[in-house]
Structure 1
Amino acid sequence: MQLFNRRTALRGALAVAATPLAAGVASADVGAMAFVQKWAPNPGSVGLKAFVGIEDDRSNSHPSATHIFAESDQYRFVMHKSDRDGSDRQRNEVRAIQTGSTRHDMKKGETWRFNYQMYIPTSLKGTTSFSHIFQIKHTSVASPVVTMSLFRSGSTETVEMRLFGAGQAKLGSTPLAPLRNKWIDVEIEIKVADSGSLRYSLKDGGTTVVNASRSGFDTWLGGDQAHPKWGIYRSINDSAQLQDTYLLLRNMKAYRNE
């Protein structure tokens, strides 16, 4: 009888431990850093309602065109060489994430993880000025917190993170050319705090080409929340590298550490 009771108690304990996952709560990790899925939009059914704001040609420089699309299984960001967001830059981005009417903001002290796949075509070039394809921003704060950007030095193009709370320090720079014209896996994990942290990785199939991190720098620049942005936001100063182009994103997910 004692053996039966012990086994029954063990089964009960395991059942309780498994309850969150069995109930449909997606967790990327188990233990001290448990990330619970908060957002995983289906472009074909949710469309652009997955995002709080759509910044498609805010200056109305190209009113005959649509630049941001939700397709059956991906999001497409189009940029024409002639598009403008003010006199010196271009911007076609989506801002912040939501599920239905529930907005998922990043609060001070929280750690978030973003996973997605991106496709960078040959026509989307690195430039000698800023050319961002991902940002973390605060509302009403001009500076981004971090950016993933495409840069050029001479004939060499790179993908890298810039940490604006650490004097625009570079993190995880890697050549862009081998990553073009294919789906690349992206993972970005950030703690937004006065002394925060960032880790990001890029995978080309089964090969990890970037796995870089830094902690102890400012990732909370003001306001009451932070949020991600995706799309193309670039200067026109390096005009020789600007072409009609696009960026594709799919399998987008966001997790919060709880």
Structure 2
Amino acid sequence: MKHLYLLFLFVFCFSSPTFSQVTLTADGSGNTYELINSVLAPNYDVVEVPDCKHTTFGRHIDELFDADLNKNVFRFFAHANEDDDRCKNDDRQRTEIKSYDKSPENLKAIEGEKVVYKWKMKIDANFQASPNFTHLHQLKSVGGDFSSIPMYTLTARKGTPDQLELRQTSTDDQETLKKVDLSLIKGHWVEFTERIEFGTNSYYSIEIKRVDNQTIVFEYENNSIDNWQNGAEFVRPKWGIYRSLNNVQDLRDEAVLFADFSIEEVNTLSVNDLKTNNQIIKIFPNPVVNEIQIINYFPEDYSQIYIYNVLGKLIDIKQKNSSNTHNISHLKSGTYFLIFKNDEKIISRNTVVIQ
């Protein structure tokens, strides 16, 4: 166990960005699908494109050098008359990337986590949106009662004027939280920063800023909003262009540019957490199968237990109860780190092995 702790400490001292933040940046090599998959789901496929329908065009995501950013960027194509939804639906079309169940754990958000999503995007000055929907980004649940409808969506919509809408739901009744004139972002590189704490009555904010002059063109913040859909296993992000074909006469061929995707967990276990006193609180039995018993030898009590896996990802939060016992049968076999806290003060750090 001592050797395991030292190895864990080494990983966090020298490799913590690997676990807390994932970035996807175009490199211009031409192997675009392979690059995307290597980051978002190594050895699997997270690219959703209409290549099977529009075979003569070839790949619907590529890379090119952008003079404004002075770097390589991703280009997502959507053709109004030739493309569909991956040969599955012909009333819509999509060219998107995502994380999903085959992705690394730190790309799948669970209840209690805080995550920051960042990316840059540029739509053409003459971009045409559908009156139905033209989704550009989603946070979508996997599993549960409402997985068919995105929890958060940024969608462009034809109107007078055209709008970019922020839509949200924790059930199946999505509402528009805020909208902005789409002309404020047309033809410009804009940077998105989306911050979310996954859970009920939690925090959400998003800011859209022009890259060239740093002008904020859209912002929204809510300190008490439901950011979890009942029964969800995890939440995944999606980016691209996903639009309705019900009014195809309103559409044209589009090429949407994206750059510098970032997914950052901001509440992974830190080195400072590991420096706290150990064995002030005892856990029995250890190893454990289903249930742990807590004995506190310290005058100051704890209020919560934060459970992390060996990668430092927050897996669960337990509230103190009168019996001082906690069922952990839902956790997979392996080693976990338990941080006992009273508000934000750390009382004890313990290691437990689940059989």
Q: Give the TM-score of the pair, scaled to structure 1.
A: 0.78
Matches within 5 A, 1:14-29: none
Distance (Å, rounded) in 2 between the aligned partners of 1:191 and 1:71: 34
Distance (Å, rounded) in 1 between the aligned partners of 2:105 and 2:198: 20
Distance (Å, rounded) in 1 between the aligned partners of 2:35 and 2:148: 28
The answer for the alignment partner of 1:192 in structure 2 is: 198
137, 147, 151: which one aligns with 2:153: 147
Larger Rg: 2
The answer for the alignment partner of 1:16 in structure 2 is: none
Q: How far did 1:168 drift?
A: 2.1
What SS does the corresponding residue of 2:158 show, helix, strand or coil? strand
The answer for the alignment partner of 1:220 in structure 2 is: 228
Q: Is 1:131 aligned with 2:120?
A: no
Distance (Å, rounded) in 2 between the aligned partners of 1:57 and 1:215: 39
Q: 1:37–1:249: structure 2 CA closer, same or farther, 3 Å change rule? A: farther
Q: 1:110–1:22: structure 2 CA closer, same or farther, 3 Å change rule? A: closer
Q: Are 2:24 and 2:36, in contact at CA under 8 Å, matched by a contact in 1?
A: no
47, 54, 71: which one aligns with 1:54: 47
Q: How many residues align?
A: 229
Q: 1:102–1:159: structure 2 CA closer, same or farther, 3 Å change rule? A: same
1:127-165 deviations in whole A, cap 9, x for unaligned?
Answer: 221110000112242111100110122x31111210022
Matches within 5 A, 1:105-254: 105-140=108-143, 141-153=147-159, 155-165=160-170, 167-204=173-210, 205-221=213-229, 222-254=231-263
1:101-121 deviations in whole A, cap 9, x for unaligned?
Answer: 665211111111111111011
Sequence identity, in percent? Answer: 22
Q: Are 2:110 and 2:198, in contact at CA under 8 Å, matched by a contact in 1?
A: yes
Q: Are 1:55 and 1:93, in contact at CA under 8 Å, matched by a contact in 2?
A: yes
Structure 1 portions without partners, runs of 5+: 1-20, 27-35
Residue 81 of structure 1 aligns to which amino acid in structure 2?
A
Distance (Å, rounded) in 1 between the aligned partners of 2:99 and 2:64: 19
Q: Give the TM-score of the pair, scaled to structure 2.
A: 0.58
Q: CA RMSD in A?
A: 2.9
Q: Are 2:106 and 2:265, in contact at CA under 8 Å, matched by a contact in 1?
A: no
Structure 2 portions without partners, runs of 5+: 1-11, 66-71, 268-355
Q: Are 1:97 and 1:103, in contact at CA under 8 Å, matched by a contact in 2?
A: no
1:154-194 deviations in whole A, cap 9, x for unaligned?
Answer: x3111121002273222331111131112111111122213
Structure of greater relative contact order (alpha carbons < 8 Å, 6+ residues apart): 1
Distance (Å, rounded) in 2 between the aligned partners of 1:71 and 1:103: 29
Q: Are 1:47 and 1:70, in contact at CA under 8 Å, matched by a contact in 2?
A: no
4+ aligned runs moved over 6 Å, structure 1: none
Residue 62 of structure 2 aligns to which amino acid in structure 1?
F
Distance (Å, rounded) in 2 between the aligned partners of 1:171 and 1:63: 39
Matches within 5 A, 1:2-13: none
Q: How far did 1:84 drift?
A: 1.0
Q: Are 1:188 and 1:201, in contact at CA under 8 Å, matched by a contact in 2?
A: yes
Q: How far did 1:92 drift?
A: 1.0
Matches within 5 A, 1:30-49: 37-44=20-27, 47-49=35-37
